[in-house]
Homo-oligomer: A and B are copies of this chain.
Amino acid sequence: MVNSTPMVPVGNELDGRVSRARRLRESRRAAVLKVARQIFSRKGYHATSIHDLIESADIARGTFYLYFESKRAIFDELLDGLVTTLQAQVRRIEVGPDAPAPVDQLNATVDRVLATLFDNREMARILLREAVGIDTDFDRKLSDFYGRIDAMIVSALNTGRQIGLVRPCDPQVVARSILGSIKEVVQWAFVEQDPMHTDIKHMGREMIAYILRGCLT
């Protein structure tokens, strides 16, 4: 998938002097994260117990707490990874003599976001459907995340209005509409449908066409 960056932290062991132990530890950790991702994705946060996690990862209870501080912490880590990656895909629309056409910029961002979500289907499921109601902190974190994306869309719409690209409208309502379209389409395609049978390219093009017609002059 184009432009999507890996979520696994690259770490600082690229200097060649990595201890075998460190690498082993990381791979073990990653294995637990992997099964946790699947189970959280399938059952949600509350319905997933530490027992589920360690049974599937085939490790002992204590081992889990060797790698992760708490159930909440592993869930955080899983989600934070995607949120960070996702945020990196969203770029503010630049406007200027040598900037690409705004439409192309939006296009590129949507492409990147879709690719990232596809590459992280399981976490997308959690981010889009399950991550609400875990606790107040978590809700705020999610709210902030979507709030930042919303702010970017609003800013893009305002910029677009100034250069006569965007029709007169309430940027707040339209921004939330756009955000909602993306969230729902992605959830439907990657979470409820079989993601492997989805033509993401096509989906992206259709979505952008709909969104652009909705707000352009």
Contacts and interface: CB of A to CB of B under 8 A. Distances in A.
A12 B211 CA distance: 46
Nearest to A132: B129
Contacts of A181: 176-178, 180-181, 184
Given A143-B192, A181-B181, A173 B132 contact: no
B209 A211 contact: no
Which range holds the interface residue count of chain A? Answer: 35 or more
Interface centre among A176, A202, A211 (most CB of B within 10 A): A176
Interface string A120-158: 000000000110111110010001000000100000000
B184 A184 contact: yes
Interface of A: 43-47, 129-130, 132-136, 139, 143, 150, 167, 169-170, 173-174, 176-185, 188-189, 192, 202-203, 206-207, 209-211, 213-215
